Structure 1
Amino acid sequence: MLKQVGAFVLLSLLAFHSPFLQANSTTKDALIRFDNLGQSIELVAHAGHFKIPGQEAELQLASRLVVKVSSEQYGHALAARFDAVNSVALLYQGRGFSYFLWELSSLTDMVAILEALRLDTGVLLVQPDLLQLDAARMAMTAPLSPGILARSVSGKGSAVRIAVIDDGFVLSHPALAGVNLAFSYDTQSKSQDVSPAYPSDTHGTKVLGVLFANSQRVNGLVPDAELVAIRQPDTWTSNTLLAFQVAKLMQADVINCSWNSPWLVEPLKDVVDDLAENGRAGKGVAVLFAAGNAGKPVQENQTEAGLASAIVIGAVDKQGNKTSFSNWGPTIDGYFYGENQLSLDNNMKYSYFSGTSLATALASGYIAQLITKKPQLSLHDIEAIVRERKLTVR
Structure 2
Amino acid sequence: MYFILKSHKGGCFLLLKYFNWNAINVYFSLAACLFIAGLSAQPTANSVCFNSNKERVTLSQYNNDFLIDETGSKYAFNKKIIIQSLLSQKAVYELHNQITRVQAIAEVNHGTVYWVTPKQEHFFDVFSALTAHQGIISVEPDIAPVRKLLRANHKVQLKEVYSKNSLLSSLKPPFCDSPVNRVRVAIIDDGFDFSHTEFNELAVLLEYDADEHVLDASTTGIVDYHGTQVAGVIAAKQDGIGVEGFAPTSELIAIRQVSTWTSSLILAFHVAKLMKADVVNCSWVLPFLSDITAVVIKDLASSPHRPVIVASAGNNRQKACEVNKLSELESVVVVGSINKVGNLAEFSNYGQCVDYYAPSSVKSTSLSGYANFGGTSSSAAIVSGIIAQLKACGVAQPLSQLHLFENIKPAHSVLNFRAKESTKKHY
What is the TM-score when the length of structure 2 is the normalising length?
A: 0.75
Q: In 1, distance between residues paired with 2:145 and 2:322?
A: 19
Q: In 1, distance between residues paired with 2:282 and 2:46?
A: 35
Kindly indicate whether the alpha-carbon contact (under 8 Å) linking 1:300 and 1:331 is maintained by their aligned counterparts in 2.
Answer: no
* 3-state SS in 2 of match to 1:91: strand
Q: Which residue of 2 aligns with 1:240?
A: 265
How many correspondences in the alignment? Answer: 346
Q: CA RMSD in A?
A: 2.6
Q: In 1, distance between residues paired with 2:253 and 2:310?
A: 15
For the pair 1:52 / 2:75, whether they are aligned, the reply is no
Q: In 2, distance between residues paired with 1:307 and 1:385?
A: 25
For the pair 1:87 / 2:101, whether they are aligned, the reply is yes
Residue 55 to residue 297, structure 1, CA distance change in 2 (3 Å): farther
Q: Which residue of 2 aligns with 1:344?
A: 365
Q: Which residue of 2 aligns with 1:154?
A: none
Q: In 1, distance between residues paired with 2:187 and 2:267?
A: 13
Q: Which residue of 1 aligns with 2:356?
A: 334
Residue 55 to residue 229, structure 1, CA distance change in 2 (3 Å): farther
Report the alpha carbon displacement of residue 378 of structure 1 after superposing the two structures with TM: 7.6
* 3-state SS in 2 of match to 1:364: helix
Kindly indicate whether the alpha-carbon contact (under 8 Å) linking 1:244 and 1:271 is maintained by their aligned counterparts in 2.
Answer: yes
Q: Which residue of 1 aligns with 2:229?
A: 206
The 5 A counterparts of 1:67-146 are: 67-70=83-86, 73-106=87-120, 108-135=121-148
Q: 2:6 aligns with which of 7, 12, 15?
A: 12
The 10-residue stretch of structure 1 (296-305 or 349-358) with the greater mean CA deviation from structure 2: 296-305
What is the TM-score when the length of structure 1 is the normalising length?
A: 0.81
Q: Which residue of 2 aligns with 1:366?
A: 386
Q: Which residue of 2 aligns with 1:227?
A: 252
Q: Which residue of 1 aligns with 2:321?
A: 299
Q: In 1, distance between residues paired with 2:92 and 2:223?
A: 42
Please list the CA deviations of residues 100-149 of structure 1 after superposition, one character each: whole Å capped at 9, or x if unmatched. Answer: 1111211x322111111212222111111111222259xxxxxxxxxxxx
Kindly indicate whether the alpha-carbon contact (under 8 Å) linking 1:222 and 1:369 is maintained by their aligned counterparts in 2.
Answer: yes
Please list the CA deviations of residues 293-351 of structure 1 after superposition, one character each: whole Å capped at 9, or x if unmatched. Answer: 0001122796112222110110111211111111111111100112x21111112x111
Report the alpha carbon displacement of residue 198 of structure 1 after superposing the two structures with TM: 2.4
Residue 84 to residue 313, structure 1, CA distance change in 2 (3 Å): same
* 3-state SS in 1 of match to 2:212: coil
* 3-state SS in 2 of match to 1:313: strand
Q: In 1, distance between residues paired with 2:409 and 2:366?
A: 33
The 10-residue stretch of structure 1 (207-216 or 227-236) with the greater mean CA deviation from structure 2: 207-216
Residue 269 to residue 375, structure 1, CA distance change in 2 (3 Å): same
* 3-state SS in 1 of match to 2:138: strand
For the pair 1:259 / 2:284, whether they are aligned, the reply is yes
Unaligned runs of 5+ in 1: 16-27, 138-156
For the pair 1:66 / 2:87, whether they are aligned, the reply is no
User: Which protein shows a greater Rg?
Assistant: 2
* 3-state SS in 2 of match to 1:135: coil
* 3-state SS in 2 of match to 1:318: coil
Q: In 2, distance between residues paired with 1:126 and 1:166?
A: 26
Q: Which amino acid aligns with 2:363?
A: L
The 10-residue stretch of structure 1 (302-311 or 313-322) with the greater mean CA deviation from structure 2: 302-311
Q: 1:271 aligns with which of 296, 309, 315?
A: 296
Q: Which residue of 2 aligns with 1:353?
A: 373
* 3-state SS in 2 of match to 1:65: strand
Q: 1:163 aligns with which of 182, 186, 190?
A: 186
Residue 383 to residue 265, structure 1, CA distance change in 2 (3 Å): farther
* 3-state SS in 2 of match to 1:278: coil
Q: Which residue of 1 aligns with 2:334?
A: 312
Q: Which residue of 2 aligns with 1:142?
A: none
Higher relative contact order (CA 8 A, sep 6+): 2
Report the alpha carbon displacement of residue 371 of structure 1 after superposing the two structures with TM: 1.4
Unaligned runs of 5+ in 2: 10-43, 151-179, 416-427
Please list the CA deviations of residues 78-104 of structure 1 after superposition, one character each: whole Å capped at 9, or x if unmatched. Answer: 222222221111111111221111112
